[in-house]
Structure 1
Amino acid sequence: MSLDDTLRQAFRREARMLDGIDVDTYRQFDRDPFEPIIGLGPRDAPVGFFGRDPGKQEVKWGEPFIGSGGQKVRQGLYLALQGEPMPDFEASREVGRHVFWANTVPYKPVGNKAWPMSVKKRFQPLMAELLVGCWQGRKVITLGREVFLWFGINQPRKVRQALDEYWRREDRFEASHTTTLALEDGRKATFELAPLPHPSPLNQIWFKRFPQLLKVRLEQLGMGKCR
């Protein structure tokens, strides 16, 4: 699935007005800092991964979820689909073509600091268009609190409240939450959100548990060699 050119140009226009893109890293790898890093995948991929924003390795390869945290995701995905450990980096790239990938903001920020809410709000209509209008799947594994709560940006108060209430549940990484994402023109879609913690080594509370949590999530969503 390739990004619609109209949507791609809309991303580029917003990026040109955005302060905080890590231009030096893009320059290091001879990458265009205004080109969105979106992995996409098959239009009809039933399951998608939704993260925060790209890092250095994502800029280098022009693919999302390819750095250290993304490799944890891809390792679990490979094991679920192939029934054996992921052998190498190229295998991690190949297995990514089976699912949909996206981030709340598809540009690397300076210092890998999270984009402020003002930036996420600016890009929300474009990312929502991608999820609702371009991708046909409706099952989303979200990585981290910020990403899960992104589904409440520019949405009715009751939607935001329901997301907040769900996140306070102790079983938030085992259960799932259904929410509706509405576009400005009235189009909308209902998504099944399956949240997980962010797979960063800095997330000491959840990092060691992440592989098992991901394994269970993928089984719940029907992603497996013997499904």
Structure 2
Amino acid sequence: MPLDDTLHEAFRREAKALEGIDLATYRQFDKDPLEPIIGLGPCDAPVGFFGRDPGRREVKWGEPFIGSGGQKVREGLYLAMHGEPLPDFEASREVGRHVFWANSVPYKPVGNKAWSMTTKRRFQPLIAALLVKHWQGREVITLGREAFLWFGINQPREVRQALEDFWRRDDRFDARHTTPLVLEDGREATFRLAPLPHPSPLNQAWFKRFPELLQARLEQLGVADMLARHSGA
């Protein structure tokens, strides 16, 4: 699903004034630093993954969730769909084409340091429009605290509070949370969030458990059957 021209130009316009993009990495791979890294997948993809921001390998390939953390997600997807381990890198790229991918800010920051809240607020209207207007699915697996709480940015206080309260729950990686996402023009959609920890090796508290948590989520959501029906398999 290609980006709508108007939204595409809006991303590029905002990126021109954005300080902190890792220009050296974009130059290394001869990539345009204004081009947003968004792996949209089919507009009717039944499930989506939502993360923080791209890394070095995402810049290289021009695809989100393709680095070490993203490979953990893709390994889980492949296992759920095919019942066997992911065979190679190309298979990880192919399996990713069946789902929707997005990040809070679609540009790699210097040093992979998280973008500031100011920057996330600045891009929130564009990402929200992408989710509400350009994608028909509503089941979202969020990766990490920042990705989950992103759904409260520029939203009413009660929405933000409900997200924060849910994240404090001990069962947050088992339960699901339903939340509205309202655009500046008043359009809105309701998303069903299934949070998981971030799959980074730096997240020592949860990294080893991530594969089992992901598989439990995929089974809970019926992702394998969902994607099989969607692809006509």
Compute the TM-score of the two structures, normalised by the length of structure 2: 0.96
How many angstroms apart in 1 are the aligned matches of 2:126 and 2:163?
Answer: 21
Q: Distance in 1 between matches of 2:76 and 2:208?
A: 13
Instruction: Return 5+ residue gaps in structure 1 as ranges.
Output: none
Change (3 A) 1:186 1:225: closer
Report the secondary structure of 1:48's partner residue: strand
State, as a whole percentage, how many aligned pairs show the same letter.
Answer: 79
1:152 aligned to 2:152? yes
The CA distance in 2 between the partners of 1:123 and 1:47, in whole Å, is: 22
Corresponding residue SS for 1:203? coil
Query: Where in structure 2 are the equivalents of 1:80-95 lying within 5 Å?
Result: 80-95=80-95
Q: Counterparts of 2:180 and 2:64 in 1: how far apart (Å)? A: 25
> Deviation at 1:219?
0.8
One-letter amino acid of the counterpart of residue 124, structure 2:
Q
Matches within 5 A, 1:167-186: 167-186=167-186
Describe the SS at the equivalent of 1:184: coil
SS in 2 for 1:209: helix
Cross-structure match for 1:62: 62
Task: Look up the equivalent residue of 1:187 and give its one-letter code.
Answer: R
Counterpart for residue 52 of structure 2: 52
* Residue of structure 2 equivalent to 1:191: 191
Deviation at residue 24 of structure 1 after TM alignment:
0.5
| Corresponding position of 1:164 | 164
Residue 220 of structure 1: CA displacement? 1.1
Contact 1:82 1:225 in 2 (8 A): no
RMSD over equivalenced CA pairs, Å: 1.0
* Shift of residue 140, structure 1, vs aligned partner: 0.3
Amino acid at match of 1:34: L
1:2 aligned partner: 2
Distance 1:196 1:43 in 2: 23
Distance in 2 between residues matched to 1:37 and 1:160, nearest whole Å: 27
**Is the 1:37–1:59 Cα contact (8 Å) retained in structure 2?**
yes
How far 1:114 moved relative to its partner? 0.1
Tell me, what secondary structure is at the counterpart of 1:192? strand
TM-fit CA distance, 1:224 = 1.9
> Per-residue deviation at 1:225?
5.7
- Hey, what does 2:122 align to over in structure 1? 122
- C-alpha offsets along residues 96-131 of structure 1, whole Å, 9 cap, x if unaligned? 001000000000000000000000000000000000
- The question of 1:33 aligning with 2:25 is answered no
What is the letter of the counterpart of residue 128 of structure 1? A
Q: Which amino acid aligns with 1:78?
A: Y
Tell me the residue number matched to 1:217: 217
* Letter in structure 1 aligned against 2:140: V
Structure 1 consecutive aligned stretches of length 4 or more whose deviation exceeds 6 Å? none
> Please, what TM-score do these two structures have when normalized by structure 1?
0.99
Measure, in 1, the Cα distance between the counterparts of 2:74 and 2:179: 26
**Aligned pairs, how many?**
227
Q: What CA distance in whole angstroms lies between the structure 1 residues aligned with 2:107 and 2:151?
A: 19
